[in-house]
Amino acid sequence: MPLFALIITALCLAANSISAAPQDRRAMAGDTLLLKGHVVHVEGIICPKPDLPAGALAKNVAAAYLQRSAVTCSYTPIGDKSFGDCQSKTNAFPSLRNTLLQSKLCTLECSDAAGSKYPCA
């Protein structure tokens, strides 16, 4: 089996998908979710901390998004963290990540050579 096929197979096996009821999904912050007991970071974005006004709004946006019944969330464990996103089962509305970016409450995440993460300019 070619190396590419092995990598794709491994990624598919490592990914998890949660189609939980709304009560099994909650926002801990705009960019951090609790999905059936798993802490999942919304991939590629940074939101303000929820104790700040913009962060509280981002958390509320994420919470409202997660309460929709036609949402499925998927994540991939990487080391001791999990990263993922949530999407409408019918693609009727943007992903959670894109919803938060469109709200202008959160920004894209960048990282430097040392692995430090910061909001992209």
Residue 64, domain CATH:
2.40.50.90
Average pLDDT in the 40-63 region? 95
* Paired residues of 78 in beta bridges: 81
Number of domains observed in the structure of the chain? 1
Residue 35 sits in which domain range?
3-119
AA letter at 96: L
Which tens digits make up the pLDDT trace of 61-118? Answer: 999 999 887 888 999 988 888 999 999 888 788 999 999 999 999 999 887 666 666 6
Three-class SS state of 97: helix
